[in-house]
Chain A
Amino acid sequence: MSTSHATGNTGSNTTISPGGLPSRRNTELAMLVFAVLIPVFAYANVGLAVNGEMPAGMLGYGLGLGLMAGVAHLVVRRFAPYADPLMLPIATLLNGLGLVLIWRLDQSERLALRGEGAAAPNQLMWSALGIALFLAVLVFLKDHRILQRYTYISMVVALVLLILPMFFPAVYGAKIWITIGGMSIQPGEFAKIIIAVFFAGYLMVKRDALALASRRFLGLYLPRGRDLGPILVIWALSVLILVFETDLGTSLLFFGLFVVMLYVATERTSWILFGLTLAVVGAVAVASFEPHVQSRVQDWLDPFHTVRETGDVNQPAAAMWAFGSGGILGAGLGQGHSDLIGFAAKSDYIFATVGEELGLTGVMAILLLYGLLVERGIRTALAARDPFGKLLAVGLSAAFAIQVFVVAGGVMALIPLTGMTMPFMAQGGSSVIANWALVAILLKISDTARRPAPAPAPSPDVEMTQVVRS
């Protein structure tokens, strides 16, 4: 009897009781409620603007989103009690807004005439699946360090996923899809998570060799020839992806991810310079002979060339006009004409709808939200104690950031457009599911990182006291 009391008391005094600590779960709940209300507001706004009445499905949509967010919150409370309080609300908000924007484009008669059916119900289903995977990762991945055991298996799986689309026919000029039983999947979206696991495991082991064995030349640390091997292999691989799958986005994502992680692991600026040089050389070389890439580059350099030459409006030009007509404050939800972009308005070009209907103010807010999500990931990496967790968190955040940059930059004609999806917002099942899994892994790492340090040893005095007390 006294023993049980003693241990019980010791527990409450010297280890951490979850209730008394700032696990910030209540903050998360408050932000989550807000994050569900904003898309519902947007939904009502679109309905009023387009049909002049409150949309019929509003209650169902709000409850559905709220239910998914609520379940996710409860599972985080149970399985990752110290996790970052902001990632889940931001992801929920972005996903909810994406659903509203897709639904808004579903209302467009122009798109319906083009034979594009309603995409919002499907997207809602994919979001639900994404959250289910999010929950599964939280529940079944007890510790992110387990992933370290699968370093080289991840490499093989990621390579298979990347190479697989080559054997399927090109869709819209890029081979990034595989089709199984009528369902098309973008394996690249999942490969980005898996390859981050491989890079983290590999660089953790090799970083000393990469960082220390180097010569100093003109103030730069030049790596040894044999240490260049891995970066050259990855570079060659991403160039091959570019050539055979004509997908600049995926190739940029993988090479960029590797360079970022290499830099973080070794703290050597020379890797960045080296990586940028290689990326430019590779991109220019491929663009010089690949017609699909060439036309993208031409659209980027001169978005209006088809308008001038033939009078037809191509997508990049329509997107530029959408951003332009949005102005500072936007046309208002449901009141823009971004459906004129036509094809891919709901997926690659969804950001143009944000630009037109929410204006510069809205675009800034959305980009800030993406930035904040990435910031929380980097913050997690800083707080993580184990090198593998640090590298993995940096890698996942970098993959997310590069993806946002590639697609937002492409739509705004800052860089040549590539077929990538805006994480969480754009139409596309693979993307939503993979990004929810990515956030789940980040949450798991942040749970380990933010878990308070255990109290120092229970001193015999304290222990004894409790026995007396009982």
Chain B
Amino acid sequence: MSELTLTVMRLGFLAVLWLFVIMTMQVIRSDLFGTRVTQRTARRAEAQRPPQPRQAPQQAARGGRQRRGAPTKLVVTEGSLTGTTVALQGQTITLGRAHDSTIVLDDDYASSRHARIYPDRDGQWIVEDLGSTNGTYLDRTRLTTPTPIPPGAPIRIGKTVIELRK
């Protein structure tokens, strides 16, 4: 093998190695400006956009909603835990700042054992406030008794909002 070929290969290999490093940096750079937030607003806009012919039969919508069956997951939609999901499999879900809660809330407005969500015998999911200081809100009403959760209704605890989804 000629000396020249080997020299070219030697330098070429180092160049290729560094090219890989530089490409990696490029990927990281494009990753830094997280796409998550913009994506989300974009999607929200899109979700609201599908427009016009929709004001019509509210009835049908309600009917369809009811028949969709039981929710399968709990989704955190606002607060520091945004995006966390927990599968609903018939177990009781506890929320609070206590570290053994199913969802550990890192929120000054939450109590250590704040609320729990559990299915009753019919499979209907119930939310119950566990005597929290700042209260648990279903839609805009503060809970006083265990209350069935209507589909899609936001449950607010401090800065955190959770929902049950199908």
Contacts and interface: CB of A to CB of B under 8 A. Distances in A.
B154 A457 contact: yes
Interface string B1-28: 1000111011111101110110111011
Interface in A1-31: 2-3, 6-7, 13-14, 16, 21-22, 24, 27, 31
B21 A31 contact: no
A219 interface: no
Interface residues of B, number: 61
Given A48-B1, A463-B64, A362 B27 contact: no
Interface of A: 2-3, 6-7, 13-14, 16, 21-22, 24, 27, 31, 34-35, 38, 41-42, 44-45, 48-49, 52, 85-86, 89-90, 93, 204-205, 329-333, 335, 358-359, 361-362, 365-366, 368-369, 372, 375-376, 379, 385-387, 450-469
Contact of A7 (B68, B80, B106): B68
A26 to B, nearest CB: 11
Among B9, B12, B53, B75, which residue has the most Cβ atoms of chain A within 10 A?
A: B9
B6 A358 contact: no
A35 to B, nearest CB: 7
Determine chain A's interface SS by DSSP, over half rule.
helix
A454 B83 contact: yes
A387 B9 contact: no
Among A41, A450, A457, which residue has the most Cβ atoms of chain B within 10 A?
A: A457
Interface string B26-58: 011001000110011001101110110111111
A96 to B, nearest CB: 11
B140 interface: no
A22 B33 CA distance: 13
Nearest to A206: B99
A57 B27 CA distance: 33
A359 B39 CA distance: 44
Contact of A365 (B18, B46, B48, B75): B18
Q: Ordered nearest first, which 4 A-B pairs have the shortest CB separation?
A: A465-B54, A464-B61, A453-B83, A332-B10
Interface of B: 1, 5-7, 9-14, 16-18, 20-21, 23-25, 27-28, 31, 35-36, 39-40, 43-44, 46-48, 50-51, 53-58, 60-62, 64-65, 67-68, 75, 77, 80-85, 99, 104, 106, 152, 154, 163, 165-166
A16 B43 contact: yes
Contact of B77 (A49, A454, A466): A454
Contacts of A24: 27, 31
A463 B16 contact: no
A453 B34 CA distance: 12
A342 B82 CA distance: 55
A204 B99 CA distance: 8
B60 A464 contact: yes
B28 A86 contact: yes
Nearest to A359: B14
Given A452-B40, A463-B64, A205 B46 contact: no
A458 B44 CA distance: 10
Contacts of B43: 14, 16, 455
Contact of B83 (A89, A361, A452, A464): A452
Contact of B9 (A7, A16, A48, A452): A48
A443 to B, nearest CB: 15
